[in-house]
Structure formats: structure tokens, C-alpha cells
Structure 1
Amino acid sequence: MRLRRLVETVSATALGLALLLAPATAQETTGELGIPLPEQPALVIVKRDAEPQRLDIPAPAEVTLDLRPSTDLQSAEAAEAKDMVTGALSTQPDRSLTEPELDLPEPEMPPVDPALTKPIEPVQPQLAKPAAPQIDLPPLPDVAVTLPAGLELSGRIAAQAEIAAALPRLSARERADIVAAYAANENRPFWIDGKDLSAAGKQIAARLGHAGEDGLRTGDYLLPVFEANDKDSLAAADIRLSALAVLYARDARGGRIDPRRLSKLITPKLELPSATEVLSELTGSADAGAVLAAYNPQHAGYQRLKAKLAELRIHKPETPVARIPAGPALKVGMRDARVPLVRARLGLGSSEEPVFDRSTALALADFQKQAGLRADGVLSDQTVAALAMPPSTRLESDIVAQMERWRWLPTDLGENRIVVNIPEYKMRVMHGEKLVHEARVIVGKPESATPVFSHKMDHVVVNPSWFVPPSILKKEFLPGLANDPNYGARRGYVVTRGKNGNISVRQPPGERNALGWIKFMFPNDHAVYLHDTPNRSLFGAGKRAFSHGCVRVENPFALADQVLGPEWTAERLKRLIGSGERTIKLPQPLAIHLVYETFVVNEAGAVSTFDDIYGFHRLVRNALEQRS
């Protein structure tokens, strides 16, 4: 029995070695691989206490491996197992050497729930997928991208803003404000819509084209030219239109000339709008043209002048006035071939001799006066130029100059106000457009002119003292005091000498006081005010330019009735006369305007002219003509 087990062990070992050496010695023969086994060593059996005995074991037959696929596998799992390794193992050995078969009992498996079983579906062979059919897709529509309005011009506007806004009469600050306004709008255009002006842009352009209706010069606001398909020119045109609108608004408010450069006595507070304000109002309005036009004065006096200007231009004669040749200045008694032309121009009859006589000089002086020239009756070059201009044209220039001075007034004159027209020698108290009080006044002499400005009256002084102003002190009192230390005292003045050598002269209240019994105060840089006067007889004169600059009022207690209210009647104020100085506050500050109107148009359209006593009208007209 032991011998048999030993043989079986040796056979199994030899079989394992044959399997390991099979790949190296295999030969392909009709699907079978023959593997020669190594020579078996001799087996020797040793028994205890006996001689070793050799056992002869026959060599095993050739081992054959069948690698052909088996047809007995019925499932996908069996086929996969076959692919992994083996085939059927067959031998042709001696039966005595084969491995004994084991008789093992079948394992008992629990019954399977039919509900959990799933029939195995036969594996269908995979067929090649057919090629996908070629489908012709319809063309995709063009994609339309809508950009914010004007965004396509933003880059060009940003690049050109500073250059396009550079109008000569706009300051650097105004140009910078225009550029900043575009930057705040993402550099999109304000007035260009697509390839043309927007509705607002056309409204602004129309107003600029009618600038002459308000006495402005249309040539100052020439519209930009642009190409509809040229984005650079569109961008530049939009910026330039903004700059022109800003310039127009400033000119309409009085920015064409600086009144303080004409005279130190013309000191209005101009209400010039900023570029930011103008563009903000225009872009936020439904009617940009109306907003732009509203920068011109809306006062009734201005509107009547505007209507008269339009009337003159409609009826302007087409036939020019005969031109008078230039030559030497002509005075009375001089002979000149131009004298007949001068007389004809002035509406005088012909003369036998070309002599510049007294009648010609008087008529010429009247013309010079109306033209705002020096009325000396001398035919100067300036007078010749004025004679060459048709009367209607000269009146146009005068009205335009007067309209310009209206621009210097506040837009809000005050519902209740005092207006002193210096060339007319008149003072008026107005409630709205209703005249409630009027009085004659005395104004400053040409050498001590009454200034032109607006202010607020806030108090009244009864029994005032008069402090001699520095100009009078220097011209009159100091020379007199140098010659006579009692010069002031003998005239009723109190002279005070300060420690630093300064001298002040005061006239106490009284009947002879230069201010009379009452003065109306509106503190200002010129130290002028309205007041009473002891020289009341001067109100009877036709031309009343007699003061040192203040305005003397006829019947000042009647004016006090208008400004102080019912609590302080004229009778109550007069009872204070002769007592100490008394200051009375107005119930509320009252607007006062010292104006210079040499041309006034009434409600019927008639023109009234007043003397240009200080030459202010001529200064304004000449400045406007030189600008043109």
C-alpha cells in the first residue's frame, strides 16, 4: 500500500514538471502538443535490516494537451473560463498509474425561489452599427446684438472731447466741465441719434440759428458740419453742439462782455450758468430749444426791446445812405466839398456855399447826441462813420446795446422792488409790473457818476449824520483845513483827528445836513444810497446830475410809506425830525436796482431815449461792435 502511494506521488510530480516545461517544447501537430517527460530516476526501496532493493517502474506514456475549443460549454461564463486557460486534459497512460476517482456526495442546496430566478437570455452577436445618416442642417440666422444707444461713438468722443469743446470764448474750466459731462454719460453722444441730430439736437440747432432775434450774433454759433457715415465727424459734431449751447447760454446771461472792464462803476453780479448746469438742463428737458431760449431775460422791458428790434429789421430800408468821404475834421466856418452831403444826410436844405455853418453844426450835435457820441458839432471821423449808417441800423445797434444791459440784471428782480433809471432821473416802486410810486431823483455828476448795480435795502435812518466821503474830503476839506483849522467848524462840521493822523469829518443831523432828514440804506462797496436833500429846488431842473454819487429823492417820506409799511407812516416819521438819530429796520429786505436805460420801449411800442450822461451806453455799443 505504501508502495502504491509513493508511485502516485512520483507520477503527480512528473506530471507537474511536464506542464511547466510544455511551452518550451511544444510542437504543433493537428491541434495536439506532445511533451516528452524527463527520464525517471531509479527508485530504490530500503528495508530495515535488509539490503536495498531496486524497483523497476515502467516509463509513463507521452502526456498530450488538447487545446482545441470545447463544444460542451453552454454558457457565457464557461466560454470566458475557457479563454482564460485550459483545455481538456487527456492521457494515454497505463491504467495502473492514473489518479483514482473520488466518489463524493452531491451537496444539498436550498430550494431556489422561482420569483428570484431570471432566465438567461442568449447573447446576441453584436452587429456593426450602421453609419449615421448625413443630415443637412438649415443655416443659422444672423445674431443681432443691440448695443446701448451711442455706444459705438464713445471711443471717438473720448478721444476728441477736449479738442472739439475748445471754443475760443469758453474758459478752461467750462471746457473741462463739458468733457466731464460726457465722461459721466459714458462718453455717449447727447445730440446725435444714429447718423443725424436727435430731436433735442435739432431744437438746439434751431435756437442757435435764431440767435439774432435776441440781439446776439448768429455767426458766433455756427453749427458743426458732419458726415452721416463718418463716426469721427459725428462725435466731433455732438461735442461742438454742446459747447455752442453752453456759449449761447452764457452770452444770453450777459457773458459777451465784462461790464467791469468798461467802467469800475458798472458792477452787476452776473448770473452766468456753468457748463454742467446748461448741459444738465438741456438733456433733462422735453424741449431743449425752449430751455436754451429761456437763458435770455424774460423781463417785460427786455421783451419790448426784442419786439422793436424785430420790427426795425422787417422795415429796414434796402437803399443805403449816401457815403460821406473821409477828410479833415470840420468846424464852424470851414469850407469843404462834403458840406452839401452832410446837410442832406441831416435833413437840412441846400446852401449856396459849401460852408460848415452854425445851423449845420447844431444839427450835427443833435445827431451825435442821439448816436451816443460827443455832441460837440464837429464832423470827426467817428461822426462820419455814424452818418454812413442808416438811421434804422443805428437804432438797431442802440437797442441791442440796451438789451445787453438787461442781461446784467438778476433773473428775479423781486416782486416788490425799487428801480432807479439814472439817465431818466426817475425812481419807481414796483409791485410786480404795477407802478405804485414814482418820483424825480438827482443823480451823480459825470465826474462823480452814480454806479450801476443791484442790492437789497434793509433799513432807514431818520435824522442821519453825514460822514464826508474820502473823495470829497481829499478834494475839498483837506485843502481848506490846511489853510484854516476852523474851516470845518465854521460850516457846521465836526472834525475828528485820529492818533495815526487820520481825519474824519461828520455833519451832524439838522436842517442843513446834506442827507436831509432821512436816508435809505443798502450797504454796498460804492457807499451810495438814497436820501433826502436840503436843496429841494434842484428837482425842478430838467437835467439833474448834481450829486457826488448818491441818489437824492424827491418827497422821501412818501417813499418811506412804501418801504416801511403801515406801522411807520410819514406823519409818525416827521415827528421824529430834530431828535436823535433813529434806525428803523424794513419788515423784509427790498430789492433795489440802479440801472442805466437810455432806450426804453413802452407797452405801445414807442421808443423813448435819454441822455447818455456818463457815456456808459456808448461803451457797451462800441464793445459789442468791436466784438463783431
Structure 2
Amino acid sequence: MRRRQWANLACVSALALSLGCAAALAEGGAGTDPTLGIPLPEQPALVILDGEKPAAAQPQARAEATPDTPADARSATAGTADSEPGMVTGAVTPSAQPHGSLVTPDLPAAPAATPDEPVELDIPEIELPPADPALTPVIKPEAAPEPTTPPMRSAEPLIAPPDLPKVVVDLPPASEFAADITKRAAEALALPRLGERERADILAAYEANGNKPLWIDGKGWSEAGKRLTARLSRATEDGLRPADYPLPAFEASDKGSLAEADVRLSALVVLYARDARGARIEPRRLSKLLTPTLSLPSATEVLSELSGATDAGAVLAGYNPQHEGYRRLKAKLAELREHLDDTPLVRIPAGPALKLGMRDERVPLVRARLGLGPTEEPVFDRSTATALAAFQKQAGLPANGILGAQTLAALGTPARARGEQDIVAQMERWRWLPVDLGAKHIMVNVPEFRVRVVEQGRVVHETRAIVGKPETATPIFSHKMDHVIVNPSWYVPPSILKKEFIPGLAADPEYAAKRGYVVTRSKGGGISVRQPPGERNALGWIKFMFPNEHAVYLHDTPNRRLFANERRAFSHGCVRVDNPFMLADQVLGAEWTHERLKRLIGSGERRINLPQPLPIHLVYNTHVVGADGKLTTFEDLYGFHRMVRQALEQQG
């Protein structure tokens, strides 16, 4: 029975709390949370129906909780003497008296309470852990709320943010140099061999960078600038002239001279990079048969690569050829410069050409220059002619033993200087080759009369070749071989047609037919002469095609006996190959062996495409350094070596 009484009392307390909150809301309207300033939701009205009103409280219970009773006494009388331990009691102060009386059936009735009389419950305090003052939210005072619902305010922690370290960035005063760079750029770019396009590209590069300096740091050269100037000063290592790249002088305290030096260095490195790729001379101006495709970098490309490089000097040096043949020549050049020339320089006067058996007062001087002993008579004898021929071969001149104007000029140049000039001229021709020769490629060295197939830097096939005569020289260029023709027909080229066939046909209409050629006349009056496939065909049984502007290619020949000659310059410009079917093995792959190709001989013309285009390079290497460091020279068949050397000397 006692448990039921306490349950009823708890219900009465809860109801009183609800009524008190409802009355407070009714009086004050929608309340607002005093801490966060958030409007509280509106509470529903509490309505007690007549049928649900509790019976009147017992007078004894009410008398024990009058307003005049002290707080401690009221708390004590809130329960009976029979209260169970652990019952939670409290004090509730309603703002309005509910209708009717609240009666607990099993408790004595309490006297009627006066209006707004508080009902007190003894609720013990809840022990909470101590709060961290640093985490206590701070509520900032706020202005009076606007008619609309105020937004939620964020609590700000009391913990102050840590002090951030000060970052000091030492930037070059780029803005101070911008005006000077703009003002002095034109003067700084005034280099004789720097083209207009390169100058415009350099200006555009600075404008894109906000006219900020690239190689100075406000006090002088930056680290990149120092590496670049060091490379330019060592240009002679690669056969270039440091005088072509004069380093600018400046005053560190003069912003104008610093700005001009920065732009001038940009111009110099662009010039160096292009020279390293072969821009010093134009091969086609030397001869229409020198038609390499130069890989010249643009000024934009050079400045972009250098400005973003970790070692700008190494990147600049990398524009020089990286091929093994070039590196060996570079090492030989350094070796020559280490040793002084002990040969005494003898000045030989100009005069008529000297040949075997001629008498001339200059003969003793010639013999002294060649290191020969004196003779009783000034006769150009066989020993003198033989020594002179050896000198001519070493100098890249026709080894005919005749003292002509070119040989006389060569004799007047110190041996050390002449050797340097020869190697530098040969290094220049290496700059004409592509940067990438191809993992597998064909190299035809015209002065050497050799054809080589190179794979991964190793020669996998080598054979003899016949090249063009001096009057019908083999051109120098690079291309890609893409197909092979078995049983080819030979169409007589225009040069031979003009020189041989047209005069022959004019004298004898059967001139071509008697020689096994077929003449075709066009409607416009022109003619073409073709030699059908066969044993006597000028191309032999197979030709290797790489269509080019010179209409030359590699092919077989019916005159195989010519390969026995040491000097094999007999063709009209094409390259005749010894053992052509072995070369076909290398270019066509395993599917087409030379045995299979030979079975096609005598049938119709057959085209076979290569598995993939194969780079081919027709080069003019008169000076070659072997793996053992030995320098070998070959005859300057067409004078191309002499042309390059003289062009470089004239520039100097």
C-alpha cells in the first residue's frame, strides 16, 4: 500500500510541474533560452476534464505544507513518517492554481493551499566534475533582437590561438628591374648572329614572366647564372669559340646594367644552344648536295628548359651532340691541345704548282717543312712527292703529290692548329645529324666507302660500298628507309638523260633499244627511258628505297668487280652495296631471308615493305676516332670537309 501512495505522490508532483510551466508560458508568451538566445517551442495547453479531476486532498496533508511553515520544515513534511529511503522530493512553484483539488486516494487529505503557494520538493544536488575554465563558452553581449528570428550564435573558446612563426621571404626586387629590362632589352639583344625571330621570342619570354630577371638575384648572377656563364667560358671544349659568347660586364649597384646583363645572358645561351645544334653555318649554302635537316631549338624552348633546370649549365652543354663519334672527337681535340707542335714552321713562297721531276728553288723549303733531309739539287723528286701525298691525305686534301695552292696553304698552317681545325670541322658535321639516330639505323660514310647497320650502339653488319663520282657526288642527308624492291626497273635520271641519251637518240633513234632500254614519249613531247628488270639492269636485283629530293637510294649492281678497288667512287650518286641480300636480312627481318629473296629473282617487280621505317644517314666523316683513340682520316672526295673548315675560319 505504501508503494502506491508514493507513486500517486510522484504523479501529483509531475502534474504540478507541467501546470507551472504551462502557466508561465501563458503569461510570458514564447520563452527564450537565456544562454543561447534560441526561442523555445510553444507548449500545448493543459486541459483537465471534470471527469478526470482528482478528489480533494486530505486536510492533514495540506496543513503540514502551509506557506508559513519554514523551508526546512516544509521539506520534511513533504512526505510521511513512513517515507521509504531513496525517495527524491523537490519544490515546485506553480504560477497559477489548477482547477479543483488533487486527492491521493490512500493519503489523508491536506488543507486547501492558497493561490500561488509553492509546493517544495527536496531534490539533492547532482555532483558534476569541475569544469575547465578554458573551455567555458563566452557569450558576447548582443543587441536587441530584430523582429525576425535571430540566428544561432557560435560560442568562442577562451583558448587563444598559438603564435605562428614569422615567415621571411627574401624576394628579388623584380618590380625594380622590370622597367630597366624593358628599356634596355633591345640593346642587350643586339648580337650579330642572333636572328630577329629569336630576339622576338626572348622579348616575349620576358614579357610572359612580367619582365622579371632570369639569371640575377639583385646582387649579381644567381646560381643558375653562374653555371651558364661557366659553360659559355668553356665553349672551346666543344669546338665552339668563347669569343662568340662574350659575357656581359655590370656594376652590382647599377640596376640598369644588371637588367641589361640578364637579357644579354639569355641571348647568349640561346645563341650557344643553336650553334651547338649546327646553326653556325648553313650547309645548303656550301653545296646543294648538303641537305641535312637541322634540329635547331627555338629561343622559347631554350629559356624554358634552362630556367627550370637544377643544373642549367649541364642542360646547356647537352645541346651539343651526344653521339659516341662526337665524344671521341671531343676527347681527341683536348688531347691535341695538351701537346705542343714540335714541327718547325717553314714559310714557303707562292708560285706555280710543283710536280714530280720539276726544278724549283722552293723544293728545299718544302722538304724542310715535311721533315725531309736536304738534297744537292732543288728537284721535286719521288721522295718529296710521296711525303707530300702523305701530308695531303692527313690534311684531307687530294693525295696526288702535287704542290698546289690548297696544299701550300695547308703547309703554311702549324700542324697543331691544322689538326684542331680538321677535328672542329668534323665535329660540326656531327651537329647536322638528328639528336636520335635510332636504336637501329644504317650509317653510310661516303668518304670511307662503307655501309654499316648499327643496333643499340653496336655494328651488326658492315659491307663495302660504291659512291658517286666527284662530278656526280652522293648527297649528304638523313632519311628513313621504308621498302625494298626486288627485280627493279631503272628509270634513267634527268641528268644522265640530258647528257647521254638525248644526244645519242638524236644521232641514232635506236640508241636506247640497242642497249636494252625502253623509251616512252609523252603527249607533251617529253621522253622517259626505262631499263627493265634483268641481269644487266643498272640497279641489279634489289634496291633499298627511302624517297628523297635527290632520288638516290641503296641498290645492287651488275658490276660487282668494282668493289675490289680501294677508291670506289664510280656511281652517278646512288650508293651501290656489296652483298645486298645480306643487307636485306638486316632490314626486312627474319621473315624475308636472302634465300627467300633470291627465289624471286627473274620474276616481276616485287615491293616488300619494311616492318617499320629504318633511319638511314648518309654522312661525310673524313676524320674518325676509333675506340682505341686513334685518329683515322679519309680523302675529302668532294671537298665538303674543306668547305666546312673554311666557312668556320671565315666566321672567326
Summarize the Cα distance change of 1:335–1:486 in structure 2 as closer, same or farther, 3 Å threshold. closer
Match of 2:291 among 267, 290, 304: 267
TM-score (norm 2): 0.72
1:299 matched to which residue of 2? Answer: 323
1:520 alignment partner, SS class: strand
1:625 CA displacement: 1.0
Post-superposition Cα deviations, 1:163-211, rounded to whole Å, max 9, x if no partner, equal: 2112110111111111111111111111011121000000000000110
2:646 matched to which residue of 1? Answer: 622
Deviates further, 598-607 or 325-334 = 325-334
Residue pair 1:459, 1:521 contacting (<8 A) in 2 also: yes
Residue pair 2:488, 2:542 contacting (<8 A) in 1 also: yes
Match of 1:584 among 593, 608, 613: 608
Query: Equivalents in 2 of 1:280, 1:492: separation in Å?
Result: 61
5+ residue gaps, structure 1: 1-143
Match of 1:351 among 372, 375, 379: 375
1:192 alignment partner, SS class: coil
Match of 1:470 among 494, 515, 528: 494
1:443 matched to which residue of 2? Answer: 467
1:364 CA displacement: 2.3
5+ residue gaps, structure 2: 1-167
1:584 alignment partner, SS class: strand
Residue pair 1:321, 1:388 contacting (<8 A) in 2 also: no
1:382 CA displacement: 4.0
Query: Equivalents in 2 of 1:421, 1:354: separation in Å?
Result: 41
Match of 1:338 among 322, 343, 362: 362
1:604 matched to which residue of 2? Answer: 628
Summarize the Cα distance change of 1:373–1:609 in structure 2 as closer, same or farther, 3 Å threshold. closer
1:341 alignment partner, SS class: helix
1:376 CA displacement: 4.9
2:338 matched to which residue of 1? Answer: 314
1:197 alignment partner, SS class: coil
Q: Does 1:324 align with 2:347?
A: yes
Match of 1:400 among 424, 439, 442: 424
Residue pair 1:324, 1:338 contacting (<8 A) in 2 also: no
Identity percentage over the alignment?
71
Summarize the Cα distance change of 1:146–1:462 in structure 2 as closer, same or farther, 3 Å threshold. closer
Query: Equivalents in 1 of 2:369, 2:235: separation in Å?
Result: 32
Match of 2:543 among 506, 519, 540: 519
1:455 matched to which residue of 2? Answer: 479
Post-superposition Cα deviations, 1:237-267, rounded to whole Å, max 9, x if no partner, equal: 1111110000000000000000011110010
Query: Equivalents in 2 of 1:394, 1:481: separation in Å?
Result: 51
Q: Which letter does structure 2 place at the counterpart of 1:482? A: A
Q: Does 1:208 align with 2:232?
A: yes
1:374 CA displacement: 4.7
Q: CA RMSD in A?
A: 1.7
1:492 matched to which residue of 2? Answer: 516
1:154 matched to which residue of 2? Answer: 178
2:188 matched to which residue of 1? Answer: 164
Match of 2:408 among 380, 384, 389: 384
Post-superposition Cα deviations, 1:349-370, rounded to whole Å, max 9, x if no partner, equal: 2111233344323432332332
Summarize the Cα distance change of 1:145–1:358 in structure 2 as closer, same or farther, 3 Å threshold. closer
1:310 CA displacement: 0.4
Query: Equivalents in 1 of 2:400, 2:598: separation in Å?
Result: 47
TM-score (norm 1): 0.75
Residue pair 2:560, 2:578 contacting (<8 A) in 1 also: yes
Q: Does 1:368 align with 2:392?
A: yes
Query: Equivalents in 2 of 1:396, 1:147: separation in Å?
Result: 47
Residue pair 2:248, 2:261 contacting (<8 A) in 1 also: yes
1:145 CA displacement: 11
Summarize the Cα distance change of 1:508–1:278 in structure 2 as closer, same or farther, 3 Å threshold. same
1:568 matched to which residue of 2? Answer: 592
Residue pair 1:421, 1:595 contacting (<8 A) in 2 also: yes
Summarize the Cα distance change of 1:145–1:564 in structure 2 as closer, same or farther, 3 Å threshold. closer
1:78 matched to which residue of 2? Answer: none
Post-superposition Cα deviations, 1:391-435, rounded to whole Å, max 9, x if no partner, equal: 232111111111000000000000010111001110011111111
Please list, as runs of the form range in 1=range in 2, the aligned pairs for 1:525-544 lying within 5 A after superposition: 525-544=549-568
Match of 1:199 among 220, 223, 228: 223
2:278 matched to which residue of 1? Answer: 254
Summarize the Cα distance change of 1:380–1:461 in structure 2 as closer, same or farther, 3 Å threshold. closer
Please list, as runs of the form range in 1=range in 2, the aligned pairs for 1:46-65 lying within 5 A after superposition: none
1:355 alignment partner, SS class: coil
Residue pair 1:519, 1:531 contacting (<8 A) in 2 also: yes
Residue pair 1:165, 1:179 contacting (<8 A) in 2 also: no
